[in-house]
Structure 1
Amino acid sequence: MPDIVLEYAAEIRLAIGQTFVMVGISILAALLLGLPLGTWLYLSRKGQLLSNQFVFSILNLFVNTIRSFPFLLLVVFLIPFTRLIIGTAIGTAAATVPLAVIAIAHYSRLVEQSLLEVPKGVIEAAVSMGASTREVVLKFLFVEARSGLVLGLTTSIVSFISYSTIMGVVGGGGIGDFAVRYGYQQFQTELMLYMILIMVILVQLIQFTGTTAARLLDKR
């Protein structure tokens, strides 16, 4: 390992750990809330099983509003909410709140798009066999769209990593924040480049894993 990396080994490990915490919480939020929200968006669309224009408009407005915010401004805007939930607006734990919010909105839209690609004939066949809405979603929609859902989650995770680099503004830490504070601001370009390399390798691993999983799940 380069000497400069060894010199900051403890700080680098801490930064990587902070990134994993922030991204991990984002993934959980995307799966636990973004997936149901995206499914509800799909089901409430005109012509779908739970068609309801009012509900769809409200959900669609929420998702579009969150996604249209520049992320740095969203972090600042959510500081009062973050303080209410976490008790502080500073630190890695506080950084997970805006990341979770953007994760929910980001993944829910990708879920909706993946479900829209499922042929309507599949839904009609399920309904004709007497399947309930819950059974249609779990046994038909998610099964048919599983490849797209995995690819969408992979794309989202890469975005979460990118968003996490901004969290230094609220003391969230992470690899990006370390690269700026120890690399750029202290004129240690070599250290900054090594941090960028770590980010690139991490993204490549995630993308490869997600693409491979999606290809294995795609039975079409």
Structure 2
Amino acid sequence: MLPDSLTAILPELNKAFLETIYMVGISLAIAILIGLPLGVLLFVTDKGLFLQNGFIKKIVGFVVNMVRSIPFIILLVALLPLTKLLTGTTIGPTAASVSLSVAGIPFFARMVETALREIDKGVIEASVSVGASPWMIIKDVLLPEAKPAVIQAVTITTISLVAYSAMAGIVGGGGIGDLAIRFGYYRYDNTVMITTVVVLICLVQLIQYTGDIFARVVDKR
């Protein structure tokens, strides 16, 4: 038999779980869409590479590092005006997705840059020597070679966004974190707190397991 407090919040738990998936899904999509090109740009503009550009490298690197250095809870509050402008509200999972996306973009960009650095420089030099264009090198050499590492980067970013989404509950962002605060912390109900933690642990384990499988499948080495 489930405890009465847990039985009573099961509908809320289901709703909160879906809200978490919704928040993470939106922010992950935006992080990949913007963070992947940023990560590639950070790599190819580095010293000694085919699009070397110290100015762009420093500017983009500074912005990425600046956003990454801000604790998420502070970023969450600081972006409330932008969130209000974009979504028309500052509460709920859609509103929380704005801050999650801003936090996810630089994190994923650095992960992509790290993944690209693992590629053998000889492969890149060979592509340049045969006259391949920068776009061809990025599309046909860099991204295919780094695919397993990029998938792992997506996995790690997803897990980080799940953790961030739990913090979004502090400002009414919805999701499992919001449920834990409202029904667990404020009501001093340890059963609810433990349940939400277990749900998050299971979700993270599932994400990591799925990411590892995909990374192994695409790894041709």
Shorter-chain TM-score: what band? over 0.9
Deviations 1:108-164 (A, max 9, x none): 000000001111111111122222111111111011111110111111111000000
Which residue in 1 is equivalent to 2:60?
59
1:2 and 1:64 mapped to 2: Cα distance?
Answer: 46
- Kindly provide the amino acid, as one letter, of the partner of residue 156 in structure 1: T
Which residue in 2 is equivalent to 1:90?
91
1:201 and 1:163 mapped to 2: Cα distance?
Answer: 16
1:123 and 1:52 mapped to 2: Cα distance?
Answer: 17
What is the aligned residue count? 220
User: Which structure 2 residue ranges, 5 or more long, are not aligned?
Assistant: none
1:133 and 1:201 mapped to 2: Cα distance?
Answer: 42
Is the Cα contact below 8 Å between 1:147 and 1:218 reproduced in 2?
A: yes
Query: How do 1:178-193 residues align onto structure 2 when only pairs under 5 Å count?
Result: 178-193=179-194
Which residue in 2 is equivalent to 1:16?
17
Q: TM-score, normalized by length of structure 2?
A: 0.95
The Cα of 1:175 is off from its aligned counterpart by 0.6
Is the Cα contact below 8 Å between 1:18 and 1:172 reproduced in 2?
A: no
Superposition CA RMSD, Å: 1.2
1:184 and 1:94 mapped to 2: Cα distance?
Answer: 23
User: Which structure 1 residue ranges, 5 or more long, are not aligned?
Assistant: none
Give the SS at the match of 2:42.
Answer: helix
- Kindly provide the amino acid, as one letter, of the partner of residue 143 in structure 1: P
1:91 and 1:202 mapped to 2: Cα distance?
Answer: 21
Deviations 1:163-200 (A, max 9, x none): 00111233211112211210122121112111111110
Q: TM-score, normalized by length of structure 1?
A: 0.96
The Cα of 1:88 is off from its aligned counterpart by 2.1
2:194 and 2:119 mapped to 1: Cα distance?
Answer: 43
- Kindly provide the amino acid, as one letter, of the partner of residue 147 in structure 1: P
